[in-house]
Amino acid sequence: MESPFNEKDLLRYAAEGNSTAFATLFSNYKDKLYHFLLRANGSPEMTEDIIQDVFLKLWKDRTSLINIENFGGYLYRMAQNHVINSLKRMATETHIIHELSQKLENACSDVEEHISLQEANRSLHYALNKLTPKQKLVYTLSRDKGLRHDEIARSLNISPSTVNNHLIEALRIIRRQLRATPDTFTVLVYCLLFLS
């Protein structure tokens, strides 16, 4: 059923705190935004997270909605920036995780009296064991063997975009596992940053 209000009205009501108007805006854009983001990052889970983050931010800053002239354009730009930032963050985390997996075997010896490296190593291996066999294989070929996406795709007979999707999901799972044990994650980052 179509809303009796135009978009400017909805933005004004939402800016005033009307959750029904905001829900209507969400409903009007969520499907189009989902397809746009899915094409951009290839991950349904990441797409849903970004939509949730974008609309939460819009609701928190709702008083500024009244000033938006082109809500669709504003929303797509905001979502696109979120994808870019998420991918940059993942690239950084990939590098950190790769460095940690190498350094945990032979570094941090001076810190062993302060922290438990075995626990940190266990947490990282536990996170890796949460991956599906295909995710783990793609992650290992990329991070441990140093293969490029196209090389992995050829060796596994899958497309480079599938390789990318497996890596995105693998990093997401690893990040979630390490965040579940923040003390361990702090230890790992400490080892990486200060014992290089």
| Count of structural domains, the chain | 2
Asked which of 45, 65, 82 is the last residue of a domain, the reply is 82
* Exposed e or buried b per residue across 11-47, where buried means at least 16 C-beta atoms within 10 angstroms of its C-beta: bebbbeeeeebbebbbebbeeebbebbeebbebeebb
User: What share of the chain in percent tops pLDDT 70?
Assistant: 70
pLDDT, one tens digit per residue, over 121-177 is 667 777 778 888 888 888 888 877 788 888 888 888 888 888 888 888 888 887 777
Write out the residue range of the structural domain in which residue 55 sits: 7-82
* Tokens matching residue 145: 């063997």
90 found inside a domain: no
Same domain as 114, residue 183? yes
Q: What is the pLDDT of residue 81?
A: 86
60 found inside a domain: yes
Same domain as 141, residue 68? no
* Exposed e or buried b per residue across 165-183, where buried means at least 16 C-beta atoms within 10 angstroms of its C-beta: bbbbbbbbbbbebbeebee
Same domain as 188, residue 136? yes
91 found inside a domain: no
76 found inside a domain: yes
159 found inside a domain: yes
| Distance of alpha carbon 171 from alpha carbon 193, whole angstroms | 20
Q: What is the dihedral of CA 132, 122, 196, 141, to 10 degrees?
A: -20
Query: What value does the mean pLDDT take over residues 19-44?
Result: 87
Query: What value does the mean pLDDT take over residues 51-60?
Result: 91
Same domain as 116, residue 76? no
105 found inside a domain: no
Q: Domain of 174: which CATH number?
A: 1.10.10.10
Q: 2-16, 62-76, 92-106, 125-139: lowest mean pLDDT where?
A: 92-106
